Amino acid sequence: MKISVVSILSLAIAAVSAMPANDNSDNGAYSAYGYGHGHSKKPANKNLIMIVSDGFGVASETLARTYVQQIDRKPYEWLSTLDELLVGTSRTKASDSLVTDSAAGATAFSCGKKSYNGAIGVTDDEKPCGTVLEAAKLQGYKTGLVTTSRITHATPASFAAHVVDRDMEGLIAQHEIGDNTLGNKVDLMFGGGLCFFQPNTTKGSC
């Protein structure tokens, strides 16, 4: 099933792996991003890897499945690896358009809230919304972002930054390294876009 594997790994991975939590930890900024207060608990799961394949949906999987069925002469009832993993679907439609961009789609994934095209970790009224990555960090997990694009691209950015426009990649880079209200919530980042993390006086800076 080469097509589905390549497709699902096409863009971004938000990975979180467990570490012991401090049961008495609390953060003054905890409620500012919509989490509410409460004691941290030791993570129940050792690892969680969230894979976001930008632009890949039910139609893409259907095309891949049908292609393999035809090329490899598999029966109509044959299921791909992704079919076996599917437990449900979500609607990530932008709040301002029938055509959703990466920013609005990823913000729906990360915050659980629909927003406008271009929104990075903010709601429709441009207010920051808590992301699943930030919540994991506050629960004692080690967190990471791995992407085949720029790390400041809309999809990975929506898990660790809060800006009103996806093109503000310099500010996104600042947020990703912890220059924000919550501080550093990403322990590991792999991806492109190094120039956005360099001073303007540095050769090769964006």
Q: Which residues belong to the active site?
A: 102
Alpha helices in 29-147 (DSSP H): 58-71, 81-85, 102-111, 132-138
Instruction: Annotate 31-66 with b (16+ C-beta within 10 A) or e (fewer).
Output: eebbbeeeebeebeeeeeeeebbbebeeebbeebbe
CA distance 83 to 1: 11
Provide DSSP, 79-97: --HHHHH---------SS-
Q: Using the structure block, give the residue that is written with the tokens 């709040």.
A: 95
